[in-house]
Chain A
Amino acid sequence: MTSPVISLRDITKSYGQGAARASVLRGVSLDIAPGELVALVGQSGSGKSTLLNIIGGLDKADGGDVNVLGHDYRRTSEQALARLRNTSIGFVFQAFNLLDHLTCLQNVTLPSQFSAAGKDVDTRGREALDRVGLAAFAGRRPSELSGGQKQRVAIARALFGAPKLLLCDEPTGNLDSATGAEVIEFFQKLNRDDGVTLVIVTHERRVSNIAQRVVAMRDGAIVEGAGTNEHTAGAGDDLGGPA
């Protein structure tokens, strides 16, 4: 078996202090193999987004081991973690998180601001926009785009650095069903053609349906689908709802 892209062991995470302390993750362990497309499902507050943020290095686990793309987060400096996000991990958020004062192209090439990227930045940015079908929108501001177009720009930004791992948090949550279907189809194609590993937090059955594995969470623990390459497309039927 190939070594996993993501390896989580006994991850714990709490928020708050004293009596208000709430345990969000309770000893989560999970392995994800290279090229997998995993859907992370569960009810609101089950810890899906927190787990995704910990995998992406956007949040820190209180306990346990996180190993992503060969980086043991406990031994990885803040700078190295930033570099990992810059070069190897792409994020797609439900709220798109585009910067309104930048053009679409500038949003897409934003990661290049934090690396010594070469002169072909704009070319690569346009290529990324072209992949999501928005080459003609390079000079527009996000405020001029529809929700679906915004999400495609956000996907283009996530793909700009040719990441090995794409982490998506409710990517279709703010989209109508037709646009959401296009996005899902794009993810499937990306996974199939480019071998990008995808972890998608979702409550949409359509996403679960295309996933090679569905990991279901409840109350901060994985209740189904923790094993590698275990096809559990029907899992989480009773776990839907907002993430």
Chain B
Amino acid sequence: MDVIPQLVASTLLLGGLYALIAVGLTLIFGVMRVVNFAYGEFLMLAMYLAFFAFSRLALDPYVTLVLALPVFFAAGMASYHVVMRPVIRASHNVQVFTTVGLSIALQNVALVLWTADARTVRTEYYATTVRIGGAALNFAQIVAFVVAVACTAALFAFMRWSYTGKVMRATAQDRQASSLMGIDTDRVYALTWAVGIVCVGVAGVLLAPVYPVYPTAGLQFVLIAFVAVVLGGLGDMAGALIAAVIVAAVEVVGSYVLGTAWKEVLYLMLFIGILVVRPAGLFGQRGAEALGT
């Protein structure tokens, strides 16, 4: 088997998923100027949703996917109104600790309810591989990739052409001015937060047939998402998309060359390097990191 096509294919598959996770995170930052440290926990909850729907109700994860949309939209709305709304105009530090607090609480609610055991969704297509060109690809990963790319594209179209998307972008550009133009920024924030959570919810369900789920499962993915988001420039959705593929490439090629043990070190070093050299991200403008402080 040829190595190059396999590496390219794996990079694309992984990159598509990372992109969906990263786009939701960067959307929330771009519009609300909040770094959501609890983001990974929603991914974990979505994986649990897929697991329980599969084991208790015998629902295929791809059916759960449809279910996940309203569930995570509601979860996003609820968490925004209960936790985030009171601190939306507070300092960065207050917001950081609020989302960190939410993250710890959710993680441990999962731990108490469902124990620390790693659980897997064993569908019958669990080990099915598809050969495309010279590469052997996991079926679930292909589906995840296709759905993730479709969702990301839909989100881009939504932001670009819908009225609500325009309102969101206006709020991202200037909170005060958009408020003066009669935009209900509070509603925009709630919606943004919820849409971001839906992105990660969909990603979580898609990941369930591929990765095991446990209470801290979100951490590894959210770290990757943070790397992609910062690399692309916090708040820059197109940047996050490209960066997600770069991070996937680093991970895939890195594990091939160095072995899987060191791949995380590799992308974290990349992350720190980017922060040192170009804190605003690869495509960001200088000084963007200080926006909103």
> Are A and B genuine complex partners?
no
Residues of B within 8 A of A (CB): none
Residues of A within 8 A of B (CB): none
